[in-house]
Amino acid sequence: MENSVSKFPLLGDALPEMEVLTTHGMKKLPQDYSGKWLVLFSHPADFTPVCTTEFVAFSQLKPEFDKLNAELLGLSMDQVFSHIKWHEWIEEKLKVEIPFPIIADGAGEVSAKLGMVHPGKGSNTVRAVFLIDPKGIVRLILYYPQEIGRNMEEILRALKALQVTDQNGVATPANWPNNSLLGDKVIIPPAKDVETAKKRPSQYECFDWWFCYKKL
């Protein structure tokens, strides 16, 4: 008996091409975001408390995402008129403008393709986050249950870390840029041959040849 194969995108996969209806009109994914990082995130439903706090938080941090050449794109399995009304409610009651589009995935097709449908929760989506690079490749996936609101600062931190590692060919330590051992320094990839291993301690700061680091 053959095992079923998940069709959800994994890290390193291209985001499936889709045409989606949003509060800013029709958009083609990932083509319309080519050359930019995309933060695609789903929420369980409009007019729910935790989701409302998340949308406020994302909106308030949009200038920080802008600095990182990143666009925000929300999604839930609600109709577009519900998104629009919720958008208006947040602006009127909480005095926060929602500056990014929200996908109206009423039929659940996008959510199904991306593995966002919450098991046992009917038409609700999980709190998923996909970080997609300027070439349309999925680089990071996060899933949260309905009861736990996301940490937007962590999403920003992960996005910054991905850009630093891509640009410099390094890795980042735990809690970077505030690591307890290295501070904001980054880790050099381990040596892959004896000669390089011998040279490492004279080239970088090291705890050992396989654990070297530097200041950017």
51 is catalytic: yes
Q: What is the pLDDT along the chain (216 residues), one digit of tens a residue?
A: 343 344 689 999 999 999 999 999 999 999 999 999 999 999 999 999 999 999 999 999 999 999 999 999 999 999 999 999 999 999 999 999 999 999 999 888 998 899 888 676 666 788 999 999 999 999 999 999 889 999 999 999 999 999 999 999 999 999 999 999 999 999 999 999 999 999 999 999 999 999 999 999
Element (H, E) at 52: helix 49-60
pLDDT at 120: 67
The superfamily CATH assigns to domain 169-216 is Antioxidant, Horf6; Chain A, domain2 (3.30.1020.10)
Contact, 140 vs 41, CB < 8 A?
no
Distances (CA, A) of 156 to 55, 114, 136, 139: 15, 21, 18, 14
pLDDT at 5: 40
Which member of 51, 126, 132, 212 is catalytic?
A: 51
Name the segment(s) of the chain with CATH classification 3.40.30.10. 18-150
The class of domain 18-150 in CATH terms is alpha beta
Q: Residue 92 has which token pair? A: 């009127």
pLDDT at 6: 46
* Identity of the amino acid at 170: V
